[in-house]
Amino acid sequence: MAPNPTPTLPPPLETNQRIWPLTATINNAGHLAVGGCDLVELAKQYGTPLYVIDEAGVRTAARGYVDGMARCYPGDSLVIYASKAWNMLALCALMQQEGVGIDVVSGGELATALQAGVDPARIYFHGNNKSEQELAAALAAGITLVVDNWLELETLHRLTLQNGQAENRQAQNGQTKSEKDKPRIMLRLTPGIECHTHDYIRTGHLDSKFGFDPDEVTGLFDWLLANPQLQAVGLHAHIGSQIFELQPHRDLANGMVEIYARGRQLGLPFSELNIGGGLGICYTMDDDPPAISVWVETVAAAVAAACDTIALPYPKLICEPGRSLIGSSGITLYQVGARKTVPNVRTYVSVDGGMSDNPRPITYGARYSALLANRPQAAADELVTVAGKHCESGDVLLRDVMLPTMQAGDLLVVFATGAYNASMASNYNRLPRPAAVMVRDGQPAVVMVRETVEDLLRQDRLPPQWQKA
């Protein structure tokens, strides 16, 4: 008789494959805790709605990417955090500590990364319509610009020549001419790769506002060879976000290595290849993203194999995840308020935030999962729709979900809100934006102070003719 097969345990889930943060537990008080902090206590101390970030979870995800790239890719590598997911000082500083660079897309994100002490050599600036001021700030900071279009290329070239003339004048006046490196640029290409995700967050298909089309590459390379004042260090592409498939990333790797090799053959000083981000996370039990380690292994192997085939020296491989670095480590804590039952239709339970702190459900139809922080083990015995407090019928955070019957004062935790929530938050209906605390080993640290109505009023001006005498 054949022996019973040895039972194998499923591999432990990686951070992006969990709905709840890495350190989430139920504590002795029977409350939900994250980072050793009781969420009921955090709500008391800091108020609601409250964003809570599990520091250990973010660091684990960052190390997953950094160590994975070092282990799986035979050349040099760099992980950069797509900070549009949540750009703030604390996360930029944490990424710098973990050896992760920062991708910025505006002067505001750039200023934040610089103020957080991020090494400019590890900052990459994206965007399809950077202003002249943003380009000048980027040149002054000595970061790498990911050039998106011809206008940007020509503006950068003009600014670089102007800077050169100013430096020459200084030199003639006897001032020391700073021996700055040439501005480092990468080219963003739109390689025409299809993937399955929400239309608004696909970027690599041909009908996209981002980047150069593949048929522009020959002209671009000629232009760069004729204008060596800009140092073209490599190529970039990003195919979209919240992607669960691996094949589009392999296709991207192959296509990009081929174009990169062409540029080098022509004599361009290419040494870096950025294959973007895009790995999905788990929002509900229906989501099944590959683990960070599997994604890294896949892209690293694909790039290395494509290089080996044509005996190309390995470029420095850059990837730039956003969502999968922080999404699963963030939660939002709300206080439950009013209820309304529409007989035979639906029961609404309202919370004290909504589309202003999480615009993803109303924007993308995104779905989330939730639990009660004060009664996490209570049986889910009621089918409800959790609504926000905004004057908008579509302001619904969770539609038709089973939760314990909720009463006013209960604390609802919505999971996986670390990415694209705070960064997309608004003041709709003049709601001040929530505070954020980073939690670790039982210690909460405020990383974003709660906005106040005074903060909002500070920006308003009453023209003098409307002021009372």
Residues annotated as catalytic are: 391
136 phi-psi bin (left φ>0, alpha ψ -120 to 50, beta other): alpha
The one segment of 65-73, 150-158, 272-280, 438-446 that binds ligand LLP by CB under 6 A: 272-280
Tell me which residues in 202-231 interact with ligand LLP (CB under 6 A): 203
Closest CB 423 distance from ligand LLP, rounded Å = 8
Q: How many CB atoms lie within 10 A of CB 378?
A: 15
Position 101 contacts ligand LLP (CB under 6 A) = no
* Footprint on residues 127-186 left by ligand LLP (CB under 6 A): none
Q: State yes or no: residue 15 binds ligand LLP (CB under 6 A).
A: no
Out of 420, 425, 431, 434, name the contact with ligand LLP by CB under 6 A. 420
Pick 55 or 320: Cβ nearer ligand LLP: 320
Report how far residue 363's alpha carbon sits from residue 361's, in angstroms, rounded to the nearest whole number: 6
Q: Is 276 in the site for ligand LLP (CB under 6 A)?
A: yes
- What distance in Å separates the CA atoms of residue 446 and residue 450, rounded to the nearest whole number? 9
Instruction: Choose between 87 and 335: whose C-beta lies nearer to ligand LLP.
Output: 87
DSSP state of 243: B
Q: Which two tokens stand for residue 380?
A: 């889910």
Contacting residue, 323, 389, 433, 440, with ligand LLP by CB under 6 A: 323
Distance, CA of 248 to CA of 255 (rounded, Å): 10
User: CA 355, 58, 375, 407: dihedral to nearest 10 degrees?
Assistant: -10
Selected range binding ligand LLP among 81-89, 330-338, 386-394, 403-411, rule: CB under 6 A: 81-89
| Residue of 18, 360, 389, 433 interacting with ligand LLP (CB under 6 A) | 360
In degrees, rounded to 5, the angle at the alpha carbon of residue 234 between the alpha carbons of residues 231 and 238 is: 135
Q: Which span sits near ligand LLP by CB under 6 A: 44-52, 70-78, 257-265, 316-324?
A: 316-324
Does position 249 interact with ligand LLP (CB under 6 A)? The reply is no
250 binds ligand LLP (CB under 6 A): no
From 24-32, 303-311, 320-328, 347-355, span contacting ligand LLP (CB under 6 A) = 320-328
The letter for the amino acid at 184 is R
Q: Which of 39, 72, 82, 138 binds ligand LLP (CB under 6 A)?
A: 82
Task: Please select the residue that binds ligand LLP; options are 234, 321, 330, 353, rule is CB under 6 A.
Answer: 321
Interface stretch with ligand LLP, choices 82-90, 251-259, 398-406, 453-461 (CB under 6 A): 82-90
Q: How far apart are CA 96 and CA 223, in angstroms?
A: 35
Q: Answer yes or no whether residue 322 interacts with ligand LLP by CB under 6 A.
A: yes
CA-closest candidate to residue 439, choices 31, 59, 50, 54:
54
Can you tell me whether residue 365 is helix, strand or coil?
Answer: coil
Instruction: Map residue 385 onto helix, strand or coil.
Output: strand
What does the buried/exposed string (b/e) look like for 329-360 if buried means 16 or more CB atoms within 10 Å of the residue's CB?
A: bbbbbbbbbebeeeeeeebebbbbbbbbbbbb
State the number of binding residues for ligand LLP (CB under 6 A): 22
- Regarding 241 and contact with ligand LLP (CB under 6 A), the answer is yes
Q: Are 269 and 231 in contact (CB under 8 A)?
A: yes
Cα gap 377→25, rounded to integer Å: 11
Contact string (CB under 6 A) for ligand LLP, positions 182-201, x = contact: -------------------x
Q: Which is nearer to ligand LLP, 255 or 278 (CB)?
A: 278
Neighbours of 76 (CB within 10 A): 14
277 in contact with ligand LLP (CB under 6 A): yes
Using rule CB under 6 A, residue 294 touches ligand LLP: no
Q: Contact between 126 and ligand LLP (CB under 6 A)?
A: yes
Residue selected from 242, 350, 356, 369 as contacting ligand LLP according to rule CB under 6 A: 242
Separation between Cα atoms, residue 381 and residue 62, nearest integer Å: 38
Q: If binding is defined by CB under 6 A, does position 238 make contact with ligand LLP?
A: yes
Report the alpha-carbon distance of residue 125 to residue 129 in Å, rounded: 11
Q: Which residues are at the interface with ligand LLP (CB under 6 A)?
A: 82, 84-85, 103, 126, 201, 203, 238, 241-242, 276-279, 320-324, 360, 364, 420
